Structure 1
Amino acid sequence: MKKIILSFCAILVLSCSLGAQGFKFPYQNPALPLDKRIDDLVSRMTMEEKASQLMYKSPAVERLDVPAYNWWNECLHGVARNGRATIFPQAIGMAAAFDTEMMQRIGDAIADEARAKYNVSVKNGYRGQYQGLTFWTPNINIFRDPRWGRGQETYGEDPYLTSRIGVAFVKGLQGDHPTYLKSAAMAKHYAVHSGPEKLRHEFDAKVSMKDLWETYLPAFEALVTEAKVEGVMGAYNRTNGDPCCAHPYLMQEVLRKRWGFKGYFVSDCWALVDFFAGHKIVPDAPSAAALALNTGCNLNCGSTYPQLPAAISQDLTSEQMLDANLRQLLPTRFKLGLFDPLGTTPFDQIGTEVIACEKHINLSREAAVKSIVLLKNKNNTLPLNKELASLFVTGPTAAHIQALLANYYGQSNDLRTILEGVMGKVSPQTSVHYSQGALLDEANRNPVDWFSGEAGAAEVTIACLGLSQLIEGEEGEAIASRHLGDREDIALPQNQVDFLKKIRANAKKLIVVITGGSAIACPEVFDMADALLFVWYPGEQGGNAVADIIFGDAVPSGRLPVTFPMSVKDLPPFEDYAMKNRTYRYAEKTPLFPFGFGLSYTNFTYSNLKLSKSKIGTNETLTVEATVTNTGKVRADEVIQLYLTDVVASVAVPKYSLKGFQRVSLWPGASKTISFAVTPDMLKLVNEKGEKVLEKGEFKIFVGGSLPSPRSLELGAAQYLEGKINVE
């Protein structure tokens, strides 16, 4: 806090000094109030200049000394598409760590690298796309269906987990300076958006008010009201009839009025073209531009807002509306210090030495280790001894760089595949053989088998299977996808299953490592494996992190942020946005792996559940305590989870709702008492009107290391604790 106060004072002193020197235009003076600076700048622009500044590629206005600025920048899991940067695990993997403190550190590290890149780019006269400070991340859509290829960009299927991880990340990205943003984050894609990719430019997502407010909006509300996220991006699709980039209810009634959002709103890229080409709700580009502007879409990523002067001439909108949108957009550039003299902000001196520095690379490895989920460990197959005599590494993802990167990634000169990570761990005398053995998603064209025999000769076989962003991802990026990035079947590619059967027939011990950004229905793989690890897309240090887990230098502690169904047959139709029979909160079918599940190399026990009261009033907060003990032989992290169930309600309610989690590290034999606060808001249900209501009656409270379900216990999770309270 002392550093922040001193920095703030220094800025005031500098501003006063600069004010004494004089400025060409008042808007350039940091000592003036923000609204005065914005009014001055807007008042000096022509209508055409104003319209140009509402484009993502905002040109320079040389007569006013306004520099060019490109708003489109990405940092989903590291600064992306702009050269060298630290590549962290994909977003879904970082969510699997259930670690908000780490997530904020990652956001802070990314923001440091972003500032360093921006500073050096501007110094050299570069102001292009992906070189700015307004980052269009995080993606906080709910991963309601594992067929969605972009679900890997999200924090999973649960609104509470998504909210907590998202808030932490945004706080890290934006910083805590009282005047300036370190970088500007964005919540996307507002608000009901999760595939199918091939229909996103014409699709109408129909949802009840209950599902809207119970599932789809809570994370956006948290990022706006708690994290003060600077930007919000509208989705391509329509929601309940209106396009998300011109949605009066979502953009004005909810976002601006109810939540008090003060930042800027941007269309998804070329989404306004969809108004007339896909959704066909307006006849042409000027009409689309006017509709978006009139509804409060401040910035156009695309090619439509150059039609604003034509729209104004046709009386479809007005210059006053242009001004209103510009006044909502420009504060972000001011808060980033982009109009202030060099040296004014505390971030102007961040140098390139922070880019992919050792500290950040180590943080990427930490995140990857914490994200890895141990799904099976028969007879303590893992960890392996580094001195083992022989090892066979095989499978299509063992040396596959794309299985590390996911999508929206930066570049690294130190990418570590799983094969490389393993090779860095084993002893010099260990004989290691490697063969890819199988293609990613099609049968080998050459039928000759030179790989399964290797499995029989080795002491242990590590089979690396799964997906990569070549076959799941965004509409145009997953170049090997047959479904524009989505998956019609959520099973592992059949050729990989067939390959594993050949390996299993010969292998003495079989460890299966699966990469992927979504739930994979793999019951056959689960049955065949002696040990099974799900490692997501683990980033540049992913191979080292996987090897850390396999050889016992780290203990697995990741938890699933999504439910793994048994089969695609257990899912409702992909286009159905109703939450019935979706996610752990509403699904009726027993899953392959439950939400929140993950094993360890040690054992944890839960005891001494204490509730501060057995009966509470509607305005009272309940304290829940429980003791967790490491009863095993190694130090390890445990993720303690709190779930609530409304036993009797006037409407359908979730079977379970995650309402708290904490990550703790315990030595063998050590115990720790964990405390959760259960507020009245956590006990409220959402009725059919979308209203949050606290009904009196009985509630169940669960504390444990996984979802409190029979399937979790069947798979080896610790016995959870259960209590109950009555709200009177």
Structure 2
Amino acid sequence: MRTGSLFIGLTLCLAVPAFGQEQMPKEAQMQEKAKAVIAQMTLKEKVGQLMNDAIGIDRLGVKPYNWWSEALHGVARSGRATMFPEPIGLGATFDDDLVHAIGEAVSKEARAKYDVAQKIHNYGIYAGLTFWSPNVNIFRDPRWGRGMETYGEDPFLTGTLGTAFVKGMQGDDPFYLRAAACAKHYAVHSGPEKDRHVFDVNPGKRDLFETYLPAFKMLVQQGKVEAVMGAYNRVYGKSASGSDYLLTDILRKDWGFKGHIVSDCGAVTDIWKGHRIAKSGAEAAAIAVKAGLNLECGNTFSHLEEAVQQGLLTEADLDNALMPLMMTRLKLGILEPDPSCPYNEEQESVIGCQKHIDIARKAAQESMVLLKNDHVLPLKKDIKFLFVIGPAATDVFYEMGNYYGVSDRMSTYLSGIASKVSAGTSINYRQGFLAIMPKLNDMDYSTGEAKSAEVCILFIGNSGNVEGEEGEAIASSARGDRVDIKLSESQLNYLRDLRKDNNHKIVTVVTGGSPVDMTEISELSDAVVMAWYPGQEGGYAIGDLLFGDAGFTGRLPITFPKSVDVLPAYDDYSMNGRTYKYMKDNIMYPFGYGLTYGKVSYSDATVVNANKYKGKENLQLQVTLKNDGDRAVTEVAQVYLSAPEAGVHTPIESLIAFRRVILQPKENKTITFSIAPEKLQMVQANGTSKLMKGAYTVMVAGAAPGSRTTELGVSSSQASFVIK
């Protein structure tokens, strides 16, 4: 038998006897094991462990392992799994407890799938336990095709939800991991997709440390994320996957990161073929390893032997790069059979189990945002005639987003609606139009059919055919990004035609992973819902919400502008004029906005310890919320800080806290926020943070403050305090 064969004879290499290991702390014990196995590898074997498709080493009992797996919103690209909403929809939930539960569910399914894959000797891509998720880049421009993968435009919201996902994924054991999460793409990566292999980003230090890095810092220091992925682009002239400033100085030295760093796929090749920093593959590989990269997704590290032979690296450099990788596999309990790992043998029955279905349905419900409701919703279940229109109503691709798995119980929007109405209700469905092509004349008759309906539910929007990663979106001229935020004329023309008859109400449901131009859509519709990509339960969730079996609670995690024409240039990475923090106008729907089936008012905001506050203890903020409606609602109360010199050297306002609050009909509830003093600090021009002296304002509201928010009737209450 070869049980435990990996370390047969390894005690000869250890500095302490085998019996002494049991008395060592687990971390130190495993570090000794990692060093011992590395010491027995040949140079060729070491190189083979530094690439994502790691070779097996039979004589050491090391199985082949592919480090590349995906789990953005469920185990992806690996067969059957529960599919949760795309992260931009999870951002709209403002619910870190829910996101934690999703992370836990995903990793449990991952464990079960991994065990089965091992039994059938599937050691290939997407079958491992190291997941390159979450994406905590900032959605700084609505045209970015990969914005759907993020939690939105705010660093604090992104960091909070990303940290919750990581903790759920990795588990709570002090040493072992249920699965390894990865914070990507580090750093300053958010388009343009077509230029990502050659682009050099030179953000000001204030923008770098105020916007682009905070979420990564939270995942490292609070989430203890096991991996970080370097981006494709350059930052200050160096590849983000080969920058000693990013990977060593900030990530490891300043933040104390202990895990492993992986390149984005092909990013090391970009060092010499895209960015032209190096002259050869060997030189590019050496640059990356010296900068702190541990693992390459790609094949340029195949030149590492050559780099050692040329004196560009030493074998000791490779040993150092290997240590975090061996530790990750030991934490997962998969480098050798490890009965001490508490996450072994997850049952296959957990995949797609009822508990996970319920979580996915709740997430889909909480993700959808009600943007307009002119006394139309909720619909009555005994409605006489309902007309449902649009290809998205029956095509589950409009619910999947990207980096998706395959569920065995996908629900269409049409099926979810049909499940809610009475047996006597007449429902008709027509595709009506083709989303990415001019409207065909032989579909015009459906607008005539719709005239007799009491309510028309129209599904329009985007799918992965028009937005996504580079090369994914087939209808985009920007290789994944969109050139503007307008929907196709075929969709808008249909809505215009439908509106010509004012005898029926129109509920428009918009799909997609990024902002769209809502001006005309809102004008022509009686109600508007932003559904995002809600995953497998999206159809049932839309039925729950439209017919009142659940209430809308979702809030926009990104500003919806009126037009992209007045936004800063897409390739300008300055935050000036971007996101709610620096936008004063051109706002159609503000960050944090969303309606409920009630009306909540805010009053009596008070900083309890204002008179004695000196910035050294938590700020105690109280506010009273009142539900003026006749239905119970869940309100997302948001706290925004306006610091001295607001809008000049600091953001106009910054989100510093939020909470989901359940309010019964006519109920008043006073809630307290305890805000850590570091959240009041402002980033300076040199990238450092400090607590500024002067007058501060905190506003508690249902959306980011501003003139457009006031126009929309969002309630708020504010308080002030002074730091001398």
Q: Residue 307 in 1 paired to residue 303 in 2? A: yes
For the residues of structure 1 that align with 2:544 and 2:666, how far apart are their CA atoms? 23
Counterpart residue number, 1:366: 362
Counterpart residue number, 1:14: none
For the residues of structure 1 that align with 2:210 and 2:580, how far apart are their CA atoms? 14
For the residues of structure 1 that align with 2:588 and 2:645, how far apart are their CA atoms? 28
1:499 pairs, out of 494, 499, 519, with 494
Q: Residue 344 in 1 paired to residue 340 in 2? A: yes
Helix, strand or coil: the match of 1:141? coil
TM-score w.r.t. length of structure 1 = 0.95
Alignment of 1:426-505 (within 5 A): 426-446=421-441, 449-505=444-500
Counterpart residue number, 1:558: 554
Structure 1 stretches of 4+ moved >6 Å: 18-22, 27-30
For the residues of structure 2 that align with 1:439 and 1:48, how far apart are their CA atoms? 54
Deviation at 1:651, TM superposition (A): 5.5
1:42 pairs, out of 31, 35, 38, with 38
Counterpart residue number, 1:642: 639
For the residues of structure 1 that align with 2:50 and 2:586, how far apart are their CA atoms? 50
Helix, strand or coil: the match of 1:458? coil
For the residues of structure 2 that align with 1:367 and 1:426, how far apart are their CA atoms? 23
For the residues of structure 2 that align with 1:565 and 1:473, how far apart are their CA atoms? 20
Alignment of 1:276-425 (within 5 A): 276-341=272-337, 343-378=339-374, 380-425=375-420
Tell me the alpha carbon deviations over residues 51-93 of structure 1, each in whole angstroms, 9 at most, x when there is no partner.
Answer: 1000101011001111111100000000000100000000000
Tell me the alpha carbon deviations over residues 494-536 of structure 1, each in whole angstroms, 9 at most, x when there is no partner.
Answer: 2211111001112510000001101111200110110000010
1:664 pairs, out of 661, 667, 672, with 661
One-letter code aligned to 2:463:
S
Tell me the alpha carbon deviations over residues 248-279 of structure 1, each in whole angstroms, 9 at most, x when there is no partner.
Answer: 11111100100010000000001111112111
Deviation at 1:617, TM superposition (A): 1.2
Tell me the alpha carbon deviations over residues 676-713 of structure 1, each in whole angstroms, 9 at most, x when there is no partner.
Answer: 12332122111110010111100011012212223123
The question of whether the paired residues in 2 share the 8 Å contact of 1:643 and 1:702 is answered with yes
Counterpart residue number, 1:267: 263
Alignment of 1:225-264 (within 5 A): 225-264=221-260
The question of whether the paired residues in 1 share the 8 Å contact of 2:447 and 2:497 is answered with yes
For the residues of structure 2 that align with 1:270 and 1:390, how far apart are their CA atoms? 54
Structure 1 alignment gaps of length 5 or more: 1-17
Helix, strand or coil: the match of 1:451? helix
Helix, strand or coil: the match of 2:561? coil
2:67 pairs, out of 64, 71, 77, with 71
Alignment of 1:513-592 (within 5 A): 513-592=509-588
Counterpart residue number, 1:5: none
For the residues of structure 1 that align with 2:476 and 2:115, how far apart are their CA atoms? 38
For the residues of structure 2 that align with 1:24 and 1:121, how far apart are their CA atoms? 29
One-letter code aligned to 1:403:
Y
The question of whether the paired residues in 1 share the 8 Å contact of 2:86 and 2:400 is answered with yes
Q: Residue 715 in 1 paired to residue 701 in 2? A: no
Counterpart residue number, 1:13: none
For the residues of structure 2 that align with 1:546 and 1:353, how far apart are their CA atoms? 27
Further displaced range: 259-268 or 114-123 = 114-123
Tell me the alpha carbon deviations over residues 103-157 of structure 1, each in whole angstroms, 9 at most, x when there is no partner.
Answer: 1011000010000001111122221111110000000000000100000000100
Counterpart residue number, 1:598: 594
TM-score w.r.t. length of structure 2 = 0.96
Query: RMSD in angstroms over aligned alpha carbons?
Result: 1.8
Distance 1:20 1:266, change over 3 A: closer
Further displaced range: 446-455 or 151-160 = 446-455
Tell me the alpha carbon deviations over residues 20-60 of structure 1, each in whole angstroms, 9 at most, x when there is no partner.
Answer: 99945449989570111011101100011001000101011
Deviation at 1:444, TM superposition (A): 2.3
One-letter code aligned to 1:112:
K
Counterpart residue number, 1:152: 148
The question of whether the paired residues in 1 share the 8 Å contact of 2:6 and 2:60 is answered with no
For the residues of structure 1 that align with 2:562 and 2:427, how far apart are their CA atoms? 34
For the residues of structure 1 that align with 2:256 and 2:410, how far apart are their CA atoms? 43
Counterpart residue number, 1:610: 606
For the residues of structure 2 that align with 1:212 and 1:529, how far apart are their CA atoms? 40
Distance 1:63 1:605, change over 3 A: same
For the residues of structure 2 that align with 1:22 and 1:88, how far apart are their CA atoms? 40
Deviation at 1:476, TM superposition (A): 2.0
Deviation at 1:620, TM superposition (A): 3.2
Equivalent residues, number: 709
Structure 2 alignment gaps of length 5 or more: none
Deviation at 1:485, TM superposition (A): 0.8
1:689 pairs, out of 679, 686, 689, with 686
1:676 pairs, out of 658, 673, 678, with 673
For the residues of structure 1 that align with 2:652 and 2:75, how far apart are their CA atoms? 38
For the residues of structure 2 that align with 1:627 and 1:352, how far apart are their CA atoms? 47
The question of whether the paired residues in 1 share the 8 Å contact of 2:70 and 2:131 is answered with yes
Helix, strand or coil: the match of 1:428? coil
Helix, strand or coil: the match of 1:681? helix
